[in-house]
């Protein structure tokens, strides 16, 4: 473990991180060593000469991107904070970009003190250009009704059991509540791109992708408006819900109390 500061206690650091999830196994550490967390901890080990444990605000699936992932770690640092940020940027591989680092109180916890998150899902109406194809889902020849999707999105607002829109992780799900609170689901059109913004207090495995997939199916006529409420109330995942591909999803922001 890293040596402490002169009083024997490492400092707690909060880091804001962006990454291109393509080719990585999501945020959380994996036996393969190909997760974002694996690469960040490898970088920190090079900086501090010892293993440094990180705790993230939550998981992102393989292929999902982030502009605003947050993690914290404890380590001594007596140099300018800008030097720590530069060192982390230098040691992280291409596709992982630390955006900011700040010293926070010891009771800050990237996961436990988070108050909510904002995700953005991007879908291209038609075929995406090569330079953005890894970040958007191309609808190709599928046409969708924006008004219908906006109406369907209203069913998600509030506190619900979202079992029907999430995916099982087996034993890891045992005992976990499936109730989540969602306070915003918007669908906007920017040129040829659709942007689905989803905000809530927390999300289940593949929940946002399940919600977006369902809205796109409403927009294309595969599902009826009434189906969304019916499926939500069933609390059972079935083949009627098809998750939108991971590459269109981005974790944009994690919300904390202003003092943190």
Active site residue 61: yes
Cβ–Cβ < 8 Å for 15, 100: yes
Neighbouring residues of 230: CB distance < 8 A, sequence distance ≥ 6: none
Give me the sign of the Cα torsion angle 119, 22, 247, 135.
positive
Instruction: Pick the catalytic residue from 7, 20, 38, 61.
Output: 61
Alpha-carbon distance of 6 to 11, in angstroms, equals 11
Neighbouring residues of 180: CB distance < 8 A, sequence distance ≥ 6: 159, 160, 162, 200, 201, 202, 203, 204, 207
Alpha-carbon distance of 92 to 35, in angstroms, equals 12
Q: How many CB atoms lie within 10 A of CB 130?
A: 7
Neighbouring residues of 5: CB distance < 8 A, sequence distance ≥ 6: 11, 76, 78
With b for 16 or more beta-carbon neighbours within 10 A and e for fewer, the 209-240 pattern comes to bbbbbbbbbbbeeebeeebbeebbeeeebeee
Q: Catalytic residue numbers?
A: 61
């Amino acid at each position: 473990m890293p040596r402490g500061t002169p009083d024997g206690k490492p400092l707690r650091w909060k880091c804001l991180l962006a990454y291109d999830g393509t080719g990585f196994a999501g945020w959380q550490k994996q036996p393969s060593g190909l997760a974002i967390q694996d690469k960040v901890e490898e970088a920190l080990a090079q900086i501090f000469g010892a293993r440094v444990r990180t705790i993230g605000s939550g998981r992102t699936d393989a292929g999902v991107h982030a502009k605003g992932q947050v993690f914290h770690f404890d380590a001594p640092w007596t140099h300018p904070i800008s030097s720590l940020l530069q060192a982390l940027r230098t040691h992280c591989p291409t596709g992982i970009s630390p955006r900011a680092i700040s010293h926070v109180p010891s009771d800050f916890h990237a996961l436990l003190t988070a108050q909510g998150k904002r995700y953005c899902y991007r879908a291209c109406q038609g075929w995406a250009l090569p330079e953005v194809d890894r970040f958007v889902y191309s609808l190709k020849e599928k046409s969708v009704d924006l008004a219908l999707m906006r109406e369907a999105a209203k069913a998600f607002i509030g506190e619900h059991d979202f079992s029907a829109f999430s995916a099982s992780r087996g034993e890891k799900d045992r005992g976990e509540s499936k109730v989540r609170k969602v306070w915003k689901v918007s669908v906007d059109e920017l040129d040829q791109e659709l942007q689905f913004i989803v905000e809530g207090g927390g999300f289940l495995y593949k929940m946002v992708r399940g919600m977006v997939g369902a809205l796109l199916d409403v927009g294309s006529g595969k599902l009826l408006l009434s189906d969304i409420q019916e499926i939500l109330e069933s609390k059972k995942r079935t083949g009627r819900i098809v998750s939108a591909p991971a590459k269109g999803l981005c974790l944009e922001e994690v919300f904390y109390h202003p003092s943190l």
